[in-house]
């Protein structure tokens, strides 16, 4: 199914589809030596078809294609803003129905007539949304390479899902295959490999923290699609169940099933956040954040747990650490943003060469972390002396 119209995607990446017609009208002419080529009068580049990993496809390519598709359907489809969310979250979307009328409101003829009209509009929106989901299924399917289509068709439940145009299932399946999670493989092997990809993933040296966390969360999302909440292992499950079983209401009576269910979901989210925050720190760039990890581990050994417990806290810890590294050396002695091991000589301070050397005490400033000939305090004293009138 092709999308048509005059809207153009951001001009930085001309993008047309060779699968099912012109999906993304290009706003630019092709430039020389950009990796683009012409095929049948259409501009083609490496980001026009969703490829399997065996063809060189990867998550970055899929994200670019989905982002462009999202831009187009938001601009051109009646329910584009709602249905586009499926490409981001992999979760189903719907529209909120009108609130039910009270008994008094039902007696008011005008109020009741307005409510009935709202219900009619709601039904029309639901129909339009279902049509858009079916249309999106067809669009995504046509963007798949033949090899990718074959892989999707080999997944369990494909016949049923394709008959109902279940785009949520299709998006999840495509994301899973791009990260090599293949449900056609033995389940235990697929789960093991999905978990291994999370644990072994490392932030590239030049990748910023926001992109790093986004990639890591996408790997975790694939794992959770088949295995439940990340980080909620058997011991965590037992702790959650024991804690909820011990809860009572204000009158000392056992909680209702609904309340227990809510409490359970809150506990699962807490364990999940902690596990992901820990993995963010663990997989962060070794070169940029080795000191942060070492200091957190040392503090933990000293019975002071300063590991972040939420995703936001983990990202903030990385950002603070990176900011600290970019500060002039002479300012390091006044910075307490990062956590360092206490050894009786204050927080370790980097020398003027930017290095922190373990178990070394400077005999000039009595601080740990550097030799006397690299003492930043001495440099600062010289600066202060020069500034005095």
The answer, yes or no, to whether residue 117 has pLDDT greater than 80, is yes
pLDDT in tens, 300-320: 888 888 899 899 999 999 998
Q: Does residue 178 surpass a pLDDT of 90?
A: no
Q: How far apart are CA 283 and CA 278, in angstroms?
A: 9
pTM for this entry:
0.47
pLDDT (tens digit, 9 = 90+) per residue, 186-230?
667 777 777 888 888 888 888 888 888 888 887 887 777 667 788
3-state secondary structure of 176: helix
Distance (Å, whole) CA 224 – CA 220: 6
Q: How far is CA 125 from the centre of its chain?
A: 30
pLDDT band for 98, please (50, 70, 90 cuts): confident
- In angstroms, the CA 312 to CA 259 distance is 27
Tell me 154's DSSP state: T
CA angle 12/17/22 to nearest 5° reads: 100
Task: Name which residue leads in pLDDT, 119 or 218.
Answer: 119
Query: Which of 361, 373, 288, 274 minimizes the C-alpha distance to 322?
Result: 288
From first CA to last CA, the distance across the chain in angstroms is: 77
pLDDT band at 343 (very low <50, low <70, confident <90, very high): very low
Q: What percent of the chain has pLDDT over 70?
A: 74
Q: Is the pLDDT of residue 137 over 90?
A: yes
Name the token pair of 198: 């999370």
DSSP string, 224-261: HHHH-STT--HHHHHHHHHHHHT-B-TTSPBPPHHHHH
Could you write out the DSSP letters of every residue in 314-325? HHHHHHHHHHHH
Long-range contacts formed by 242-245: CB under 8 A, 24+ apart: 243/267
- Where do we find the tokens 């299924």? 137
Q: Which of 27, 6, 4, 3 is nearest to 15 (CA)?
A: 27
Give the pLDDT score at 38: 31
- What mean pLDDT do residues 246-271 have? 77
- The 8-class DSSP code of residue 69 comes to H
Q: What percent of the chain has pLDDT over 90?
A: 17
How far is the C-alpha of 125 from the C-alpha of 119, rounded, in Å?
10
Q: Collapse the DSSP code of 39 into the 3-class scheme (helix H, G, I; strand E, B; otherwise coil) and give the result.
A: strand
pLDDT-based confidence at residue 167 (cuts at 50, 70, 90) = very high
Q: Let me know: does 83 contact 76? Beta carbons within 8 Å.
A: no
Cβ-in-10-Å burial (0-12, 13-18, 19+) of 363 comes to: exposed
């Amino acid at each position: 199914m092709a999308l048509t119209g005059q809207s153009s995607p951001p001009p930085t990446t001309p993008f047309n589809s060779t699968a099912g017609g012109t999906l993304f009208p290009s706003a630019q002419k092709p430039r020389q030596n950009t990796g683009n080529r012409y095929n049948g009068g259409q501009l083609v580049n490496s980001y026009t078809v969703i490829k399997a990993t065996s063809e060189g496809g990867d998550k970055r390519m899929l994200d670019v294609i989905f982002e462009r598709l999202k831009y187009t359907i938001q601009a051109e489809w009646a329910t584009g803003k709602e249905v586009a969310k499926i490409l981001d979250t992999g979760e189903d979307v719907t529209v909120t129905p009108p609130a039910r009328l009270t008994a008094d409101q039902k007696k008011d003829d005008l109020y009741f007539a307005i409510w009935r009209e709202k219900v009619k509009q709601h039904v029309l929106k639901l129909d339009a949304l279902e049509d858009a989901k079916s249309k999106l299924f067809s669009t995504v399917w046509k963007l798949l390479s033949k090899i990718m289509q074959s892989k999707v068709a080999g997944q369990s439940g494909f016949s049923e899902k394709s008959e109902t145009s279940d785009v949520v299932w299709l998006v999840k399946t495509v994301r899973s295959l791009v990260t090599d999670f293949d449900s056609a493989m033995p389940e235990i092997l697929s789960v093991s490999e999905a978990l291994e990809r999370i644990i072994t993933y490392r932030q590239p040296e030049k990748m910023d923290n926001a992109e790093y966390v986004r990639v890591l969360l996408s790997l975790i999302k694939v794992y959770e699609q088949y295995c439940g909440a990340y980080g909620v292992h058997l011991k965590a499950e037992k702790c959650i169940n024991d804690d909820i079983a011990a809860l009572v209401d204000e009158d000392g009576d056992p909680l209702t099933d609904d309340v227990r269910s809510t409490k359970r979901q809150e506990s699962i989210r807490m364990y999940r956040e902690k596990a992901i925050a820990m993995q963010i720190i663990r997989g962060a760039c070794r070169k940029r954040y080795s000191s942060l990890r070492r200091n957190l581990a040392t503090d933990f050994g000293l019975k002071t747990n300063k590991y972040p417990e939420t995703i936001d806290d983990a990202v903030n810890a990385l950002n603070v650490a990176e900011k600290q590294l970019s500060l002039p050396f002479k300012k390091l002695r006044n910075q307490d943003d990062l956590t360092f091991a206490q050894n009786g000589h204050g927080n370790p301070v980097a020398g003027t060469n930017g290095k922190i050397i373990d178990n070394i005490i400077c005999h000039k400033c009595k601080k740990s972390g550097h030799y006397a000939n690299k003492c930043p305090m001495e440099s600062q004293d010289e600066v202060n002396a020069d500034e005095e009138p």
